[in-house]
Amino acid sequence: MRITRSFPVSDVAALKANLLAWGQQFDEAVWLDSNGHNDTYSSFEALLAVDGLTVLQTDGKNAFEDLREYQGQTEDWIFGYLAYDLKNDVEKLSSDNPDGLKFPELYFFQPKKIITIKGSSVEFSYLKMVGDELDADYRSICNADFPPVGTSRPNNDLRIKLRMFKDEYFRRAKAVLSHIHRGDIYEANFCQEFFAENTEIDPWATYRRLNAISRPPFACYFKIWDKFLLCASPERYLKKVGGKVVSQPIKGTAKRAVDQVKDAALKARLAQDVKERAENIMIVDLVRNDLSKSALKGEVRVEELCKVYSYEQVHQMVSTVTAKVAADKNPVDIVKETFPMGSMTGAPKISAMEIIENHENFKRGLYSGAVGYFDPRGDFDFNVVIRSILYNASEKYVSFSVGSALTAKASPEKEYEECLLKAKAMREVLEKTN
């Protein structure tokens, strides 16, 4: 079904830049970049998939059933995203908050062309119908001419607005905490939106700048016609390789310092922070419960608990939970049984999502959803859409959202500061790039 050829790579950084530039010509494109974070579960350095042959686009109603059918019938690579509000297809929930972005709830496409960088080689995998374009595309990519990062003109007219001002955040956060104190839930991921209206940005330049200052392991540039995701995510939602499923939730954040001694102290303090560890362990328990729905009996394991990883902007506390699944377990069902990811909801999950919906004042949409792929074998890998800018060019609407976990001992003031810390990179990029 596909023609595959590999070529040696002498300069990976240059090839990655050229690939992303070359991919701009297509109406459907997804770029996944690990930025050199090659851990135990990494599959590639970077991947570009473009030019959809078939597409599945739908709202929340029966979305997972439609995806299950599409994935089974295609029997090929499919790339796409799952919006957070597909929770309404999983549970008896609803989403009625304002939606400025107007993205579809679910979008997947079967690309004609997939180009993957692995180690010191690049692999082209083309459907046979476009196989005769492979060599010419390789030459075009090698000779691509692109502007260096940071040369785009400043956007002095862009004005970022807060959907929720500070006093309102405190009021709503305290309302969520009241649910926690009376035992309705014990953790909630409470989020807020920053946005700009009547605004035009250069998505490609904005993504490149965001990635340059963040260098996260699950970066993504996703383009479907007039809608763009510019993602600097540090978090994996769910990966399946053969009979093993892996989830790596993040809970716990600390700022970085330029001074190495101070930076090491901040990292060590996060590792020992009782509140942050409690938040992380709560979500680990939730993930274990979610994975047990798909796993073989007794085959859910915590491989890594509360380990602190350092990224360009922040230190993060990460845990790794794995499960073994039956060979005939449908891959879309595994995703459905764990969606949305616990790190972006709270616990207990359904009650937390209900409370979140009542106290947040925007529709999350693709934010805190997932982007990734299914391969022909039924394996998959999805990130968590956080630290991301979303842009609808037709609506001239730009949005980024951030959140933090509220628990019984949470301070609204400190949680608000954590939100601002997480928002820093997106705000800086948008105010300086156009």
The reply to whether 357 belongs to the active site is: no
Of 235, 279, 357, 418, catalytic: 235
Are 396 and 103 contacting, i.e. CB atoms less than 8 angstroms apart?
no
Q: Tokens 């929930």 correspond to what residue?
A: 93
Going through 270-352 in order, the beta strands assigned E by DSSP cover 295-310, 314-325, 346-347
243 secondary structure, DSSP code: T
The reply to whether 251 belongs to the active site is: yes
Closest Cα to residue 113, out of 105, 125, 104, 121? 125
Of 251, 336, 349, 363, catalytic: 251
Q: Which tokens hold the place of 113?
A: 């062309």
Type of residue numbered 257: A
Phi-psi category of residue 52: left, alpha or beta, with phi > 0 → left and psi -120 to 50 → alpha? beta
Q: Which tokens hold the place of 219?
A: 């970066």
Q: Which tokens hold the place of 161?
A: 């607005």
Are 263 and 292 contacting, i.e. CB atoms less than 8 angstroms apart?
no
Are 19 and 48 contacting, i.e. CB atoms less than 8 angstroms apart?
yes
Residue 31: its H or E element: strand 28-33
Active site residues: 235, 251
